[in-house]
Amino acid sequence: MKYTAPRGTQDILPADSWKWQRVERVFRETAERFGYKEIRFPVFEETELFARGIGDSTDIVRKEMYTFPDRKGRSLTLRPEGTASVVRSFIEHSMGRGARVTKLRYFCPMFRYERPQAGRYRQFWQWGLEAIGSLSPAIDAEIILFSVRYFEGLGLERTEARINSAGCPSCTPAYNDLLRKELAPRLERFCDDCRERYERNPRRMFDCKNESCQALLSDAPSILDALCDECRDHFAGVEAHLKAVSVPYVIDSGLARGLDYYTKTIFEIHYTKLGAQSALCGGGRYDGLTEELGGKPTPACGVSAGVERLISALEEEGAFPNAAPGPDIYLVAGSDGAAELNVALAARLRETFSVEMDYQGRSFNKQMQEAGRMNARFVLVNQGEGGPLKLREAATGWEVSPGEGEIEKAIRDRLASP
């Protein structure tokens, strides 16, 4: 029997895994500069956590979760997103002691039963930030700024922040009533999902991917015209902070997020050169979620993004080098005796550098070809006992013959040279 990866999943092979490593490394380094510490949480949780945290009216809960009973009949679900798990952990471990703001980051796989297509998988990777414990619009602006700086660090400049408000429990009931009143005459022209959203939560209609539904919503009332004073002031504060840190943004009154826990600020970062699928990440404020999941009332804000789409965007923009990074040194045996000597030499050089060598007894020319295929920066030719060493930089042809104890210094000096 021939086994293959389950539908909607993928193997990330060495030819591509270095791209993922770079995306994660830049994420980690940028998050550290902003003060966000790593959290790792379980792959599965109690189903009720996601049902309550994400919202019964969302497509994620209704259609996309991988839910199963354990051997004692308890309902468990593979995590479809990260925020509910982070908040559960925040509550469980009393992470908000001392009234401090808890700033967390994660980079891990999630699971949703979706129709597989380009850039969309049933097991997909997601990065995210969560800042729990502050009402200040400065936190919202900080997370938006982080997202912009992160994408710049990866080579995607001139991004655009699109911001809106989701309102709060004080102002959204009246807005929902207004939406239903305005959309009722054309309700039959919406898709089946939108007609169901109309009854459950009409704001979810803005998240529909159906272009005809979006056209019907083009003249719908904006929530920005229905905000309470608190939400209006908070939104103005986010704008002021974004201007203070010179983050370009536009107000998008049609912007919606597909999760019910959002309140006040919602946003997406777009890279418009990508066209229709230009959103790189999205997030917002979720001030009621901690209380909804059994904790004390605690304001919070976060952002997340799918890694697969980000990597596709970076590939389209040519933001990755043409070839995977290779080893620092490839050891070539210039004689039969040198092959044995290279074992000890490689062990020594690996204290400082990444080193590869031949293990198959190939000819000198075959070894040199392999060094090129592996994109090694330096080739070190060992002629054997008493023979000279030759160190060559592959890209420039620079060459030197160091003594046995001078290899490391020769490489360090070359790396330091302009």
Quick one: tokens of 72?
Answer: 């004692």
Is 403 part of a structural domain of the chain? Answer: yes
Quick one: tokens of 186?
Answer: 């054309």
- Give the whole-angstrom CA distance, residue 258 versus residue 398: 56
Residues 97 and 21 in one domain: yes
DSSP label of 351 = T
Higher pLDDT, 117 or 356: 356
Asked whether residue 318 carries a pLDDT value surpassing 70, the answer given is yes
Q: Show which of 291, 316, 341 is a domain's final residue.
A: 316
Is 390 part of a structural domain of the chain? Answer: yes
What percent of the chain stands above pLDDT 90? 67
Q: What is the pLDDT of residues 95-136, one digit of tens each?
A: 988 778 999 999 999 999 988 887 789 999 999 999 999 999
- Whose tokens are 């060493």? That residue is 389
Q: What is the pLDDT of residues 175-184, one digit of tens each?
A: 888 889 888 8
Structural domain span for residue 44: 14-171+227-316
Q: Which residues 6+ apart lie within 8 Å of 352 measured at CB?
A: 408
Q: Are the CB atoms for 150 and 35 separated by under 8 Å? A: no
Split into its structural domains, the chain has a count of 2
Residues 370 and 247 in one domain: no
Q: Show which of 316, 351, 385 is a domain's final residue.
A: 316
Is 380 part of a structural domain of the chain? Answer: yes
Q: What is the pLDDT of residues 329-350, one digit of tens each?
A: 999 999 888 998 999 999 999 9
CATH (domain of 262)? 3.30.930.10
Is 323 part of a structural domain of the chain? Answer: no
Residue 276 CA: distances (Å) to CA of 246, 256, 272, 279, 284? 25, 16, 8, 8, 22
Q: Which residues 6+ apart lie within 8 Å of 87 measured at CB?
A: 53, 130, 132, 289, 290, 293, 295, 300
DSSP label of 63 = I
Residues 333 and 310 in one domain: no
- Give the whole-angstrom CA distance, residue 267 versus residue 302: 10
Is 107 part of a structural domain of the chain? Answer: yes
Q: Which residues 6+ apart lie within 8 Å of 115 measured at CB?
A: none
Is 128 part of a structural domain of the chain? Answer: yes
Quick one: tokens of 200?
Answer: 């459950």
DSSP label of 302 = E
Residues 51 and 100 in one domain: yes
- Give the whole-angstrom CA distance, residue 211 versus residue 253: 17
Residues 281 and 390 in one domain: no
- Give the whole-angstrom CA distance, residue 287 versus residue 97: 17
Nearest to 369, CA basis, from 394, 349, 350: 394
Q: Are the CB atoms for 290 and 284 separated by under 8 Å? A: no
Higher pLDDT, 387 or 153: 153
Residues 158 and 80 in one domain: yes
Quote the distance between the C-alpha of residue 288 and its chain's center: 24
Tell me which H or E stretch contains 382. Answer: strand 378-382
Is 202 part of a structural domain of the chain? Answer: no
CATH (domain of 358)? 3.40.50.800
Quick one: tokens of 98?
Answer: 């001392």
- Looking at residue 276, what is its pLDDT? 65
Q: What is the pLDDT of residues 241-298, one digit of tens each?
A: 999 999 999 999 888 776 778 899 999 999 877 776 788 999 999 999 999 999 999 9
Q: Show which of 316, 341, 373 is a domain's final residue.
A: 316
Residues 148 and 284 in one domain: yes
Q: What is the residue-wise DSSP string for 225-275?
A: GS--HHHHHHHHHHHHHHHHTT--EEE-TT---S-TT-EEEEEEEE-GGGG
Residues 311 and 273 in one domain: yes
Q: What is the pLDDT of residues 52-90, one digit of tens each?
A: 988 877 788 989 999 999 999 999 999 999 999 999 999
Q: Which residues 6+ apart lie within 8 Å of 184 measured at CB?
A: none
Residues 147 and 56 in one domain: yes
- Whose tokens are 């699109």? That residue is 162
Q: What is the pLDDT of residues 363-397, one digit of tens each?
A: 999 999 999 999 999 999 999 887 889 999 999 99
Is 291 part of a structural domain of the chain? Answer: yes
